[in-house]
Amino acid sequence: MRKLFCSMVLVCVLSVFMLGAEVTFWFAGGDPQLDLPIVKKQIADFEKATGIKVNLVVIPWAEDPHTKLDVAIMSGKAPDLAKVGSPREHALAWSKSVEPLEKYLPKDFLNSFSKSVLLGSTYKMNSPQELSGKIVGVPYFCHTRVVLYRKDILAERGLPEPSSNWTWNDFLEYAKRLTFDRNNDGQIDVYGFGASAQYAYQLMIWVWQAGGTMINEKGAPTINTEAFYKGAKFFVDLFRTFKVVQPGAVNANLADVRRQLVAGQVAMYIDTGDAGPALRKELGDKVGAVVLPTNPETGRRTSYYGADVFVIPSSAKHKEEAAKLLMWLCGKENMLEYCNVAGFVPSRTDAAEEYVSNDPIMEAFAQQMSDSNPWVEHPEYSAFTRIIKAAIQDVLSGKLSLEDGLKRAQQELEAHLKEKGYSW
Amino acid sequence: MKSQNWWLYVVKYLLVISACTFTLLPLIWVIVRSIEPDTGIESYSLIPRSITFENYPAAWNYPTVIDENVTLGTMLFNSLFVAGIVTLVSIFFDSMAGYALARKNFVGKKVLFWLALSTLMIPFYAVAIPMYIITIRFGMYDSLAALIIPFTASGFGVFMFRQSFLSIPADFEQAAKADGANDFYIYWRIMLPMVKPTVATMVVFKVLWSWGQFFWPLLVIQDYSKMPINLGLAMFRGHNITRWGLLCAGMIVATLPILVIFLMCQKWYVEGLSGGLKG
Amino acid sequence: MKRRVKENLIAYAFCAPAYTIFTIFLFIPIVWVVFLSLKDFSIVTFYSAKFVGFRNYLRLAKDQIFLRSIVNTIYFTLLYVPGNTILGLIFALLLNKPFKGRDFFRLALFIPNVIPMVVVSIIWSLIFSSSTTGIANRILISLHLKPIEWLSDYRYALIAVGIVLIWSGFGYRMLIFLAGLQNIPDELYEAAALDGATKWQITFKITLPLLRPTTFFVITTSLINSFQVFTPIYIMTGGGPGYSTTTIVNYLYTKGFSEFQMGYASAISVVLLVIILALTFVQRKIGREDIIF
């Protein structure tokens, strides 16, 4: 009897001890048939090498991992390490929910990352002060946007495949030539450019290329600037003046545009990394990729990149261990192995250099990374998205002129930011 | 006269058949996708390009990569378990309250009735956060209890049971009372069996409702082995790519049990609702 | 006297389990939400919320997008409630009397109700694809009509969402009407037929008036549902184009969950609850003889 009691106590103590050494890791996204097996393998290796147990929790994007993390942090159930979609780390930093990472990560480790990408996860607001200017997330990989196109439709219209130094004018020319009525029945069968204004970045890439921004150094929204207008005008003209954009683009889902490319109803569109393999499966060699066209005035061909970043919640119980796991997964070899499977560009410079896939589609993505912007690095990023998207959609629907639309967005944003206590 | 009837018949069939086409067409699309090879880019077509049954085992085993012990079967079981307990307990609780509201005279009856009705009017997203906090304070975080206990009573159920108890003649109760039976016995052995159709109706409602939950389990469940099937289906939808073949296969697997339950209850279902609506 | 007390106690005992659950998981939260609407916080800053008095409500009164969302919700209701009620009623009348294939038809019309809303929404966003290959547009083309940019045209987007919800919901209303029809005694029909009434006369003079309580019930519950519409809009249109499909609950979700203004979202919840209560009350006044409530 006593023996039983003793062993039960022992089991209890042991299990408490084991729990103490367990790192909980929330992984947003991931595909069980693609990248997750790699993550699992790397974690198993980590457990073997360090003796730290890891509890991996995968949260599909459709399950709203960001809300889930917010709720967990609020109720004191935060994981020790979490992978989130940038710029969520800025919103988490605003509420002091994540740790500044310089404390846990050695300098030479941080130096191995691309400067600009790391800057994207550096907190830029003045409050909370202890996080201002600190790195609040470590980027795992980036996924930028390039132009994907149908080689066969280009050939049908007698167009050569675009080169990486094509310009806005070339792009417009291509889009015009690729918008055509194939069987002369008076209906346009193919549209040159498949856009989807449901995504604000589809507008912002042109704005960035024209030199515009969403926000200036002082933190004031800059939607009504000359440069913003110029970039937005090019995008709007594709719809309203040149009519080279497929019907429904005002609120189309990107998946829909992708299908239309497969169906041969659009000839070019802008999309991210994991679309490449999927399109390849459907279209084989007929799909091509090229970096975005260059703005002849500014010489920029800026694209938008998203990044998945690691954060350590400030209420985490095992921060040191979490940092160890972070460094393990972001080691050169591991990151490279992961990115090769997932089809994203590694955020470490040394890994990115070796990320030479002989896949021409992936090469376009790697090339585009040299001129890519992250989404606005502001805790209120989703208000930026909502307000800009709504304004541009109203402009594209013909309910507002571009001037009025941008003015409205500027006013709404200023009011929103002031309400949240920001000033400039 | 005869020819007129014949025409009415044709019009009736035409209307009904076109309505069925409207409701079934999207479902045919789902079935077609589930037996077509999955490439990550869905197709609009109602005719499969080629036929494969690989999607079903693939969908079934999809979660095993995340947790070796979990398949869609585990999640299906969770959903069935949750739906089963919720249905059983809430029918018991609802009918008890409905019985009192219909058959007893007491202070505050009207208020209680209106309170039950008002629960129908609360939008879930409005109370999600306070409800979440209360649920985890009870220590139910990441447990099936969190999916069950908050939903073991519903205003709709109380309302439906009250209406159907109202329509039962008082004689039955009085006879039992004269025999000296206690209140619970009357409710349990005499009254409840008389509203069996309402019970069948509520079974369908509760199962359907519990099955369709999405946002709530998303907040309170973390462990894959405790996930309901509806949440499991979210795995097939990525940030950019949706695995349509797998999703559709998974969906069919997830829908079959409810269809069976509906078919089993269908006979009583319509009858039960009519009891509730007599007023 | 003692008997009355006992009777009361027994009744309370019967009500206790259900109302305990209601109190803990619904009434306390809703009262809590009223308090939260006087504060400023996001989900993560829940425990350090600032008290701001009625500021959220004052802001709400001036919020153009909120006003827009109310208008959108009402517009949606005008599609959703009549659509579901009328279709449900028509098919209940058609499928009431036994005929060949009736049970199959009933099942076929009800099935969409069984499919989770999330999945319904993604299937339909494909059907409403603006391209000429989307099923909805292919049907229009085959009827020699112009294809429509369903989810991208601010004139049609909310209608498209309405169609989806009618698709998934009218079968359920049909079942409720069928149940109501069971309550109409056969003798009434027989008597009318003996008096030489035609089928139309029977339908309009007997069936429909006697179905009033059921109709009232269907309209009330549909009204409540339609004011709470969220998922299909969230998935199919994202509230766009512009703000043309942003409904009250969509705006509530945007503010509370993605723009970190839970206090403001709570104020929206309170206003929404008041609107629904008011509507139910008005409805009750209008249909007061029909003793359903």
- Confidence at residue A180, expressed as pLDDT on a 0 to 100 scale: 93
**Subunits in contact with chain C (3 or more CB pairs closer than 8 Å):** A, B
Is residue C218 predicted with pLDDT exceeding 80? yes
Mean pLDDT of C261-288: 86
Does domain A145-304+378-419 fall under CATH 3.30.230.10? My reply is no
B248/C193: higher pLDDT:
B248
**Cβ contact A101:A133 at 8 Å:** no
The domain A2-143+306-373 belongs to what CATH superfamily? Periplasmic binding protein-like II (3.40.190.10)
pLDDT value, residue B38: 79
Lowest mean pLDDT among A382-396, B136-150, C34-48, C196-210: C196-210
Tell me if B240 and A272 make a contact (CB, 8 A cut-off): yes
Task: Tell me which residue in B40, B64, B239 faces A29 most closely, judged by beta carbons.
Answer: B239
pLDDT value, residue B275 = 55
Contacts of A97 in chain C (CB under 8 A): 44
Tell me the three state secondary structure of residue A55.
Answer: strand
DSSP string across A240-252: HTS--B-TTGGG-
**Whether residue C279 has pLDDT greater than 80:** yes
Neighbours of chain B (3+ CB pairs under 8 A): A, C
pLDDT value of residue A349 = 87
- Listed in sequence order, the residues at least 6 apart from B82 whose beta carbon sits closer than 8 Å to its beta carbon are B144, B147, B148, B210, B228
Output the CA angle C139-C237-C124, nearest 5 degrees. Answer: 40
Query: How distant, in Å, are the alpha carbons of B116, C224, C281 from that of C287?
Result: 20, 16, 10
| % residues pLDDT > 90 (chain B) | 22
Query: 3-state DSSP: chain C helix, strand, coil percent, rounded to 5?
Result: 75, 0, 25
Angle at which helix B72-103 crosses helix B196-212, to 10 degrees, equals 140
Beta bridge partners of A142: A307, A345
Q: C46 or B89: whose pLDDT is higher?
A: B89
Residue A357, pLDDT score? 67
CB contact under 8 Å between B23 and C111, yes or no, is yes
- Is residue A182 less than 8 Å (CB to CB) from chain C? no
Q: In the prediction, which pLDDT does B276 show?
A: 53
Q: Is the dihedral of CA A226, A231, A234, A236 positive or negative?
A: negative
- Contact present, C263 and B116 (Cβ < 8 Å): no
Using one digit for the tens of pLDDT, what is the confidence trace for B158-170? 988 888 888 778 8
Give the strand pairing for A138-150 and A266-272.
antiparallel
Contact yes or no for C236/C128 (Cβ under 8 A): yes
Q: Is C69 on the interface with A (CB under 8 A)?
A: no
pLDDT tens readout for residues B97-122: 999 999 888 899 989 988 998 888 88
pLDDT at C199 over 90: no
- Cβ atoms of A36 and B66 within 8 Å: the answer is yes
Query: Domains, chain B, ranges and CATH?
Result: 65-237+256-277 (1.10.3720.10)
CATH 3.40.190.10 boundaries in chain A = 2-143+306-373, 145-304+378-419
The whole-number pLDDT of residue A154 equals: 94
Of A74, A247, A390, nearest to C243 by CB-CB distance is A390
Task: Name the minimum distance, in Å, from the CA of B64 to any CA of chain C.
Answer: 22
State whether C8 and B24 contact (CB < 8 Å): no
* pLDDT surpasses 70 at C265: yes
The answer to whether B172 and B194 are in contact (CB under 8 A) is yes
What DSSP string runs through B34-86? HTS---SS----SS-SS---THHHHHHHGGGGT-TT--HHHHHHHHHHHHHHH
pLDDT at A8: 54
Nearest to C183 among B12, B20, B278 (CB): B278
Cβ atoms of C206 and C184 within 8 Å: the answer is yes
Q: How far apart are CA B224 and CA A58, in angstroms?
A: 9
Chain C within 8 Å of B236 (Cβ-Cβ)?
no
Q: Is the ipTM of this complex over 0.85?
A: yes
Contacts with C, B 54-83, CB within 8 Å: none
Single-letter code of the amino acid located at B189: R
Say if residue B274's pLDDT is above 60: no
C249-270: average pLDDT: 92
Range among B32-41, B92-101, B186-195 with highest mean pLDDT value = B92-101
Cβ contact, residue pair B218, A262, below 8 Å:
no
Q: Is the confidence at residue A48, as pLDDT, over 70?
A: yes
What does pLDDT average to over chain A?
Answer: 89
Taking the CA of residue A172 and the nearest CA in chain B, the distance in Å comes to: 26
Closest residue in C to A250 (Cα–Cα): C152
For the stretch B213-246, pLDDT in tens is 888 998 888 888 899 988 888 888 877 777 888 8
The pLDDT, as a whole number, for residue B279 is: 41
Contact criterion met (CB below 8 Å) for A164 and A290: yes
**C120–chain B nearest CA distance, Å:** 9
* Second-level CATH architecture of C37-290: Orthogonal Bundle (1.10)
Which amino acid is located at C184 in the chain? I
Lowest-pLDDT choice from A196-210, A226-240, B188-202, C149-163: B188-202
Mean of the pLDDT values across residues A339-354? 85
pLDDT tens profile B243-270: 888 888 998 888 888 888 878 777 676 6
A75:B237 CB<8 A: no
> Helix (H, G, I), strand (E, B), or coil: what is residue A258?
helix
B9-49 pLDDT, tens per residue? 888 889 999 999 999 988 888 898 889 887 767 677 778 88
- Separation between Cα atoms, residue C173 and residue A42, nearest integer Å: 53
Task: Look at B274 and C277 and tell me if their CB atoms are within 8 Å.
Answer: no
Cβ atoms B189, B173 nearer than 8 A: no
Task: With beta carbons under 8 A apart, name residues in chain B contacting C290.
Answer: 279
Q: Do A31 and B238 touch (CB under 8 A)?
A: yes
For residue A296, what pLDDT band results from cuts at 50, 70 and 90? Answer: very high
Residue B211 near chain C (CB below 8 Å): yes
Residues of B within 8 A of C274 (CB-CB) are none
The predicted pLDDT at position C292 comes to 45
Our measurement of the distance from residue A82's CA atom to the centroid of its chain's CA atoms, rounded to an integer in Å, reads 16
Q: Are strands A303-311 and A372-373 parallel, antiparallel or unpaired?
A: parallel
- What's the mean pLDDT in C241-262? 92
- pLDDT category, B1, cuts 50, 70, 90? very low
Q: How many B×C Cβ pairs under 8 Å?
A: 236
| Residue A173 buriedness (CB in 10 A; 0-12 / 13-18 / 19+) | middle
When the pLDDT of each residue in chain C is averaged and rounded to a whole number, the result is 88
pLDDT tens-digit profile of C232-249?
999 899 888 999 999 999
Report chain B's C-alpha Rg in angstroms.
Answer: 23
How far are the Cα atoms of A175, A413, A423, C66, C250 from residue C255, in angstroms, in the given order?
38, 14, 20, 10, 9
Average pLDDT over residues C114-135: 83
Which range has the worst mean pLDDT, A378-382, B9-13, C164-168? B9-13
Whether the Cβ atoms of residue B236 and residue B59 lie closer than 8 Å to each other: yes
Q: What is the pLDDT of residue A34?
A: 82
As a whole number, mean pLDDT of residues A301-307 equals 93
In the predicted structure, residue A150 carries a pLDDT above the cut 90:
yes
Domain ranges of chain C: 37-290
Asked if residue B101 lies in contact with residue B108, where contact means CB atoms within 8 angstroms, the answer is no
DSSP state of C278: H
Rounded to the nearest angstrom, the minimum Cα separation between C262 and chain A is 12
pLDDT at A127 over 80: yes
DSSP string, A76-122: T---SEEEEETTHHHHHHHTT-B--GGGTS-HHHHHTB-HHHHHHTB
Q: In the predicted model, is pLDDT for residue A77 greater than 90?
A: no
Of A31-40, A87-96, A396-405, the one with minimum mean pLDDT is A31-40
State which of A14-23, B86-95, C192-201, C208-217 shows the largest mean pLDDT. B86-95
- pLDDT category at C168 given cuts 50, 70, 90 is very high
Which pLDDT score, from 0 to 100, does residue B224 have? 86
pLDDT at C58: 94
Q: Cis ω on the peptide bond leading into residue C241 (within 30° of 0)?
A: yes
